[in-house]
A = this chain, B = another copy of it.
């Protein structure tokens, strides 16, 4: 399936607002890929498809996890929306014909991050976070850092996500903490 076919299928699948967000994320991901010397085609596909499982409800998401041997931790059982990345990677492969493991991985972890993210993983996480339609707290800080330092922008995004989850009395995904720690440990002594 080429990008135009992916776009047509995605537009049919997602609600209009979510589809616009996906296109916006793709556009920012492309700019970041160009800036940081990452593969633009991979960024385009991963950016467009990162939320391709967002139309599924909790029951459908859980069924996809079960059918594809994706284990759910107690935290993920409780907050099933956290699995739309992992299920998105399955759908990207099964329905959109994406085979590239780098693209699938970037889709899989775009919500939580993980320790040892590569440049494409970071670009997709950040593009999703800062695309122009986003208006959440502190997004300006990450936006202003995005083309200065991918790592600093990402830490800013993680900080905001963690503080938001705390404000909602929600569960914090351990992967987000590990991702943030691994970047801080690799970049500078805190």
Contacts and interface: CB of A to CB of B under 8 A. Distances in A.
Interface in A142-178: 155, 159, 162-163, 166, 168-172, 174, 177-178
A162 to B, nearest CB: 7
Contacts of A155: 169
Nearest to A74: B185
Interface of A: 74-75, 78-79, 155, 159, 162-163, 166, 168-172, 174, 177-178, 180-181, 184-185, 189-190
Contacts of A185: 74-75, 78, 171
A172 B181 contact: yes
Contact of A159 (B75, B166, B171): B166
A190 B78 contact: yes
Nearest to A182: B74
A151 to B, nearest CB: 12
Contacts of A178: 174
A174 B172 contact: no
A157 to B, nearest CB: 12
A33 B92 CA distance: 54
